[in-house]
Structure 1
Amino acid sequence: MRKFFLTIITSFLTLTLFAQQPYFQQSLKYSIDVTLNDKEKSLKGFETINYKNNSTTALDFIWFHIWPNAYKNESTALFQQIRSDTSRKEKLQNITYGSIDGLNFKVDGQAAKTEAHPNPQYIDIIKLILPKALKPGDSINISTGFNVKLPNYFSRSGYADTEFMITQWYPKPAVFDRDGWHEFPYLDMGEFYSEYANYTVNITLPSNYVVGATGVMQNETELADYKRIGTKNVSFRTDKPELYNPKTKSATKTLAYAINNVPDFAWFADKDLVIQYDTVKLASGKVVDAFSYYHNKKNTLWVNSIDYIKDATQKYSKWIGEY
């Protein structure tokens, strides 16, 4: 009884100490290079993360999400959740598995060790042991390569026919806030609590793919082509839209994207996507670009998708905060 009482006191003190910390957010900056192999349904990437500790706590380790491992086998929290719901378990018929490997973490150029999560279902979470404590206010650079085998699409990320939906795909630090670490697994039903961060991402893939991604495309010629095609397809909403035709003769291309202060980076790619483009003027007078991407099918309601996007952007900017 005495031991149990002491455990409760210790837990209470730990929670109290976290709760007394002032509000803060960790500062992250990602630089990611990734290549899509559309034949093997795989990604090969390398990332560098500048991680600044804005908390009042020195950190000896950082929990990392390696969420593609949620698709690795049927013992993960993802599979267990889907199978526990009779209305959704049919989606697991005829699936292919996914995974992530090739991790070789370095911290400021020094090799760093990792440890598995103690929960055997959480193979999509690892602990990165820091070579030395990261003091409050200090920053480190974390780097690693990674290889992702994509699953077929049955839960947010994967491939379907010629389409690639790339979400929750790169090694990502879990959130550390005044309540402590939030190292939860990938789930089919549930959202993702993530640190806001700045991203620069280079995506290399076959030249004939259209890509929709988080952030602003930095390739001026490609962006201008998307806008030209998209503007025409908005003006003439027919069953015969103008489709993207790559200008380069090279077999592959690299598209660069940049975005600041967002919680995640996702991207989508396919060969037959119709592009629509327009601008949205917000209440403050700010003008933002709006793109829509959809499959080229007859009599589709998606010919009006750009209108839905513009309306949603204006309303959410009014309700929550400007885009």
Structure 2
Amino acid sequence: MKNRLLVSVILCFSFTYVVHADLFAPLPLPLPAGSSSTGVPSQQYWQQQVDYRISAELNPDSAMLNASADITYKNNSPQPLGQLWFELPLNRFLPDSISTALHGEGSGSAGITQISFSAAAQPLPLLRQDTFYRVSLPQPLAPGQSISLALQWQLQLPERTDPRRPRAGVERFGDGSKLFGVALWFPRAVAFTANGWALSPFIKDAEFATELGDYQLNLSLPADYLVLASGELQNAKQVLTKAQYQAWQRQGSAQLLQVKPDAAAGSKTWQFSAVGVRDVAFAAGNSLIWHTEQLQLNGSWHRLNVAYPDNGRWLWHKYALASTRHSVQQLAQYFGEFPFNAMNVVNIAGIGMEYPGITFVGFRGPDAPVNGPAPAYSRTEKHDVLGGIMHEVAHSYFPMLVNTDERQEGFFDEGMVSFLSYLLEQSWSTDFQSFYGDPAGVGAVMANSDYAAPVRRADHFSAKLDSHYHVPAVAWVILRQHIVGPELFDATLRDFVSQWRGKRAQFADLIRFFHAQTGQDLHWFWRGWFYSANHVDMALSSITRDDKMLTVMVDNLGGIVMPFNLKLTFSDGSIAERAIPVDIWRLDNKQAKVRVTLPVTMLVKTEPLKAELAVLADAELRNNQLPVN
């Protein structure tokens, strides 16, 4: 048998000054008011507080929502405000919207049909700009002051089948029953920061920048509808049947209930309360299977609700509550707490979107009796359902707890959540078919001509899923597993979430925080993986030998610098391996020279046969081996 013992070699780095871009230079990161040089909120941090008390009635036949709200807007900024801006994202379906001009009219209209604002019973001037409304105040709202506004509006909900991919809408079934996902449904206060109002219109893919506030919801629907919403249900005894209420009260075990269409007369008003959230949404259906469970986490009780249509959704019946429970438990352990006392997961076909305490998951799986034999389904169908639930539940932290600006930095929350869901998936099963997070296949994705740097608005992509989900998720996996180390990485991320809980963090804050907490200079990493459209492709270009030394030349063809492993195989079967740090690229980011001084015992007795290169996320493996000349 050949000797497989690793032999000791001395690696000498030979540097030559070459004029190339300095990939290790500090990034020119913004430092907005409220942020600090160490990535934590400064003493000058402020944000607005906007509280809502909403009463709404949904007509299932017309999919029309009639609503009113009392809004309290507190100006915590250092400047007076003569106008306030609000956004109704479903206005992108109106015929004159920017989104309609770019993406067509779809299958029908949706959006605001009537709206008015008033203060002290006096109407306020209103200006609509695409998805935004400017409300002119009677007098400027001074710093530290609050104003009470009265709002009335009427909203037409879209059909969930609309080809423009709505984030809300109605799903209709053959038996006449309906399921509503009601989101983006009220004029939400536009984020106001030191940079001004966040007035980039909602076109399609770049999501949201909102303020935090407290919400009271009164939602009226026909009596045979189940309603799940952001926040906690306040009047369960009044809106649930006796059997439902008894099951709803039980702690520690899952309860299975069913909501069926009937001829029940009248309506019910469901009351919910949500504190310190960036948004609220709700779901309502009159033919649903409903799993509810109270789960104890870190000494407190949390409610899990899972609901899906009663038309034979076998995978949801078997796995939905279990995967929700798994996600909540694992995330609570990872971060030390789960941010919501109630977590609702609702299956509405084709809609996948997250909101505080409630999420819609569009994957459904095969249509088969829930209590019958297992139907035929693919591994992908199963993992779509499981992974979809895990991903959306992970959004409870980004952007629901750490209130990121999704419209400008969608890669921040989606990439981080795709990373967290990768951890959830792999802890569920090590053979989980994870679509994001595995470094093995990402190199080819990044080498595609249509790939763009993650730091870009989501509406400006042709391959958003690659740039905002896949690549950032892999980047976080690499940073955790191979650069910072799991223990330090996890502690750093936990501390960041704790520092920015309920505040508006930017990606630059996370970069500064990681540098300060880990003591590592990672500018090369952020520059390559987030700010460039480059990829990883390292190649062995030449290997030469003189009397006592091998010289190995490694070319950086893809543009992203990375650490790599070098393996040398000798004629007697012995192997020499060394991990080469990323710093070898500091003086020349195009080519690295590795000099290997051979031990005296190897100078005569053995001959080097070949060299092999191993690097994470490499797009091309065929150039990673060379024979020794």
Do the aligned partners of 1:18 and 1:180 also contact (CA within 8 Å) in 2?
no
Do the aligned partners of 1:108 and 1:140 also contact (CA within 8 Å) in 2?
no
Percent same amino acid at aligned positions? 23
Any residues of structure 2 matched to 1:271-286 within 5 Å, and which?
271-282=286-297, 284-286=298-300
- Is residue 2:311 matched to residue 1:297? yes
Larger radius of gyration: 2
Deviation for aligned residue 1:313? 1.6
Give the Cα–Cα distance (whole angstroms) in 2 for the partners of residues 250 and 217 of structure 1.
22
Residue in 2 aligned with 1:61?
Answer: 83
Do the aligned partners of 2:34 and 2:45 also contact (CA within 8 Å) in 1?
no
- Is residue 2:269 matched to residue 1:254? yes
Residue in 1 aligned with 2:108?
Answer: 96
Residue in 1 aligned with 2:69?
Answer: 47
Q: Give the counterpart letter for 1:147 in structure 2.
A: Q
Do the aligned partners of 2:33 and 2:45 also contact (CA within 8 Å) in 1?
no
Residue in 2 aligned with 1:169?
Answer: 185
Deviation for aligned residue 1:103? 1.5
Give the Cα–Cα distance (whole angstroms) in 1 for the partners of residues 294 and 254 of structure 2.
13
Give the Cα–Cα distance (whole angstroms) in 2 for the partners of residues 191 and 313 of structure 1.
24
SS in 2 for 1:105: strand
Give the Cα–Cα distance (whole angstroms) in 1 for the partners of residues 144 and 201 of structure 2.
28
SS in 2 for 1:25: coil
Give the Cα–Cα distance (whole angstroms) in 2 for the partners of residues 81 and 276 of structure 1.
41
**Structure ranking higher on relative contact order (CA contacts 8 Å, 6+ apart):** 1
Residue in 2 aligned with 1:197?
Answer: 213
Give the Cα–Cα distance (whole angstroms) in 2 for the partners of residues 184 and 292 of structure 1.
34
Structure 2 length normalisation: TM-score? 0.43
- Is residue 2:140 matched to residue 1:129? no
Q: Give the counterpart letter for 1:261 in structure 2.
A: G
Alignment root-mean-square deviation, CA: 2.9
Any residues of structure 2 matched to 1:1-323 within 5 Å, and which?
22-73=44-95, 75-80=96-101, 82=103, 95-117=107-129, 123-153=130-160, 154-161=165-172, 162-221=178-237, 222=239, 225-226=243-244, 228-229=246-247, 242-244=257-259, 250-282=265-297, 284-298=298-312, 300-303=314-317, 304-320=319-335, 321-323=337-339
Do the aligned partners of 1:64 and 1:183 also contact (CA within 8 Å) in 2?
no
Give the Cα–Cα distance (whole angstroms) in 2 for the partners of residues 289 and 253 of structure 1.
22
Higher mean displacement: 216-225 or 129-138: 216-225
Do the aligned partners of 2:52 and 2:213 also contact (CA within 8 Å) in 1?
yes
Higher mean displacement: 264-273 or 153-162: 153-162
Do the aligned partners of 2:254 and 2:293 also contact (CA within 8 Å) in 1?
no
Change (3 A) 1:127 1:299: closer
Do the aligned partners of 2:218 and 2:272 also contact (CA within 8 Å) in 1?
yes
Give the Cα–Cα distance (whole angstroms) in 2 for the partners of residues 17 and 294 of structure 1.
43
Deviation for aligned residue 1:177? 1.5
Do the aligned partners of 1:204 and 1:252 also contact (CA within 8 Å) in 2?
yes
Give the Cα–Cα distance (whole angstroms) in 2 for the partners of residues 113 and 18 of structure 1.
31
SS in 2 for 1:310: helix
1:51-96 Cα offsets, whole Å, 9 max, x none, are 10011110010111022221112x523345546xxxxxxxx75x12
Q: Give the counterpart letter for 1:277 in structure 2.
A: T
1:277-300 Cα offsets, whole Å, 9 max, x none, are 112222x32221111111123361
Deviation for aligned residue 1:134? 0.3
Change (3 A) 1:209 1:137: same
Change (3 A) 1:225 1:27: farther
SS in 2 for 1:78: helix
Unaligned runs of 5+ in 2: 1-29, 36-41, 173-177, 340-629
Give the Cα–Cα distance (whole angstroms) in 1 for the partners of residues 213 and 34 of structure 2.
24
Give the Cα–Cα distance (whole angstroms) in 1 for the partners of residues 289 and 91 of structure 2.
32
1:245-281 Cα offsets, whole Å, 9 max, x none, are 6999542111111110111110111111111011222
Q: Give the counterpart letter for 2:212 in structure 1.
A: Y
1:8-37 Cα offsets, whole Å, 9 max, x none, are xxxxxxx99967993211111100000011
Change (3 A) 1:248 1:32: farther
Do the aligned partners of 2:233 and 2:272 also contact (CA within 8 Å) in 1?
yes
Residue in 1 aligned with 2:569?
Answer: none
Unaligned runs of 5+ in 1: 1-14, 84-91, 118-122
Give the Cα–Cα distance (whole angstroms) in 2 for the partners of residues 200 and 160 of structure 1.
26
Do the aligned partners of 1:279 and 1:290 also contact (CA within 8 Å) in 2?
yes
Give the Cα–Cα distance (whole angstroms) in 1 for the partners of residues 254 and 48 of structure 2.
44
Deviation for aligned residue 1:194? 1.1
Change (3 A) 1:72 1:245: same
1:90-145 Cα offsets, whole Å, 9 max, x none, are xx75x12102032121123332101233xxxxx21121111100000000001111
Task: Give the strand-richer structure, 1 or 2.
Answer: 1
Give the Cα–Cα distance (whole angstroms) in 1 for the partners of residues 305 and 155 of structure 2.
28
Q: Give the counterpart letter for 2:142 in structure 1.
A: K
Deviation for aligned residue 1:45? 0.4
Structure 1 length normalisation: TM-score? 0.80
Aligned residues: 288
Deviation for aligned residue 1:198? 0.5
Give the Cα–Cα distance (whole angstroms) in 2 for the partners of residues 50 and 111 of structure 1.
16
Deviation for aligned residue 1:193? 1.3
